[in-house]
Amino acid sequence: MNRLDTTAVRRQFPSIDVLDEGIRRIYLDNPGGTQICGEAVNAMVSYLKHMNANDGGHFMTSRRTDLLKAEAHDAMADLVGAESGDEIIFGQNMTSLTFSLSRSMGRELDPGDEIVVTRMDHDANVSPWLMLAGDLGLTVRWIDFNPETNRYDETSVDEAITDRTRIVAVNYASNALGTVNDVRDISARARAVGAWSYVDAVQYTPHLVTDVQAIGCDFLACSAYKFFGPHQGIVWGQRQVLERLTPYKVRPASNELPTRFETGTLSHEGMAGTLGAVEYLAGLGRETEGGGTNRRADIIRAFERIEATERPLCQRLLAGLEAIRGVRLYGPGSEGRVPTVAFTSEYISPAALARSLAEHNIFVWDGDYYAMEVIERLGLAETGGMLRVGLAHYNTEEEVDTFLDVVEHVSTGAR
Ligand SMILES: Cc1ncc(COP(=O)(O)O)c(C=O)c1O
């Protein structure tokens, strides 16, 4: 599959050419939030200029808002491979949606029931379940990962999922290690014991094609600001499960899907931007041979191109870091991963290195990025966690090389 033309891609991101006192920015903070594409920005501005209203009214702007909301749901259904936009729930962010859905799911549980969380997840897919367990007297079981392979430990998966399991909350791609997990297998195991699977795909959706039907999960959560859109959370849920659950909602609000879980007035401009981001992604597939007939098919083609573009860039990054004296890489090697790479240096703390990189206008994250279990499991909580650098399809080889030069210079210089 043909790689993307990175120059053409970069032209579609208004923030990429921004200079700070004449210095260009190198955005390697993508796992924390990607840059927003122009199509999403334009969609938001257009919504606010031409359609801004509350929904459900008889007048033009309100009718257009209703239409826009339906289009945004349909676009997200295409992004994740869902059957219908009715199965898509928009909300403030992934964390809030997960807290809210966990409450509804909790109404179906009894004391002594078990829920499963993992040591590889972002805390947004851990704390909601721990708090639910605390409230309802549920038993919590943990899936561990192997710090050698940085993948889920098979024995631990076997032991955690039992006949009493009711919810299994897992991570599709780790925001710290970059590991892509076999959520299809875990969802099947959950289903086999009658449990719901809740997949956190926040770090997966910007990089690889998401297909909820193929995974066979019950819920899949993501965030538009991680896939080139605005700050907006989205959860897909199995229709039968969404219909069965009782939503926490106000009485006058519709009890129909998807509205029953979309409490209060939503960020309509955020939904417009999310639609714009999905259209941007589909556009990357539409421009290939045979593209342009079906949005879902275009999205699949787009992610094939994104993967073909990111993979060699990630290999360059990994090889370059490996060659720097004192660097220790964490993560699963070059296969079965997204291009999110975490490391430590023997000579400099993650925070000091991140500060030095910031002086060169290179944007990265350090610490635990809320993957607190990962950092504790690796024994790095007392030493400032890891430095994390994450690529997106708009990054260039030259940016990777500049980053590597600065890391080498600063870290070995601190020896
Ligand atoms: C893997 C993962 N899950 C969940 C979240 C939380 O997403 P949100 O900011 O939309 O609540 C993040 C944010 O960084 C993340 O990386």
The ranges assigned to domains in the chain are: 6-36+296-413, 41-278
Joined together, the tokens standing for residue 269 give 């401009």
CA of 93 to the centre of ligand 1 (A): 8
Please give the distance, rounded to the nearest whole angstrom, from the Cα atom of residue 158 to the centre of ligand 1: 27
- Interatomic CA distance for residues 242 and 12, integer angstroms: 36
The Å distance, Cα 19 to ligand 1 centre, comes to: 28
- Which residues does ligand 1 sit against, CB inside 6 Å? 93-95, 122, 124-125, 175, 200, 202-203, 223, 233
Question: Tokens 């809210």 map to which residue?
Answer: 100
pLDDT bracket for residue 1 (50, 70, 90)? low
Res. 97: pLDDT tops 70? yes
What is the whole-number distance in angstroms between the Cα of residue 199 and the centre of ligand 1?
12
Give 317-360 pLDDT, tens digit per residue.
999 999 999 999 999 999 999 999 999 999 999 999 999 999 99
201 within 8 A of 123, measured Cβ to Cβ: no
Q: What is the mean pLDDT of the chain?
A: 97
What architecture is domain 41-278? Answer: 3-Layer(aba) Sandwich (3.40)
Distance (Å) of CA 313 to CA 81, 102, 104, 197? 27, 38, 42, 33
Q: pTM of the full predicted structure?
A: 0.98
Assign 252 a pLDDT band (cuts: 50, 70, 90).
very high
Tokens of 57: 């009214």
**According to the model, what pLDDT value does residue 214 have?**
98
Share of the chain above pLDDT 90, in %: 98
Atom of ligand 1 nearest to the CA of 370: 14
Domains 6-36+296-413 and 41-278 share a fold: no
Centre of ligand 1 from the C-alpha of residue 94, in Å:
6
Residue 415: predicted pLDDT = 84
Instruction: Tally the C-alpha atoms within 13 A of residue 299's C-alpha that lie toward its C-beta.
Output: 23
Token pair belonging to 288: 């290939």
Best mutation site among 202, 204, 267, 365 for ligand 1, i.e. most ligand atoms within 8 A of its Cβ? 202
Please check the confidence at residue 94 and state whether its pLDDT lies above 80. yes
CATH second-level architecture of 6-36+296-413?
Alpha-Beta Complex (3.90)
CA nearest ligand 1 atom 7, residue: 94
Task: Give the distance (Å) from ligand 1 centre to CA of residue 170.
Answer: 13
Please, which pLDDT band fits residue 229 given cuts at 50, 70 and 90? Answer: very high
Q: What is the reported pLDDT for 71?
A: 98
State which ligand 1 atom lies nearest to the alpha carbon of 171.
1
Structure tokens at 112: 């002594």
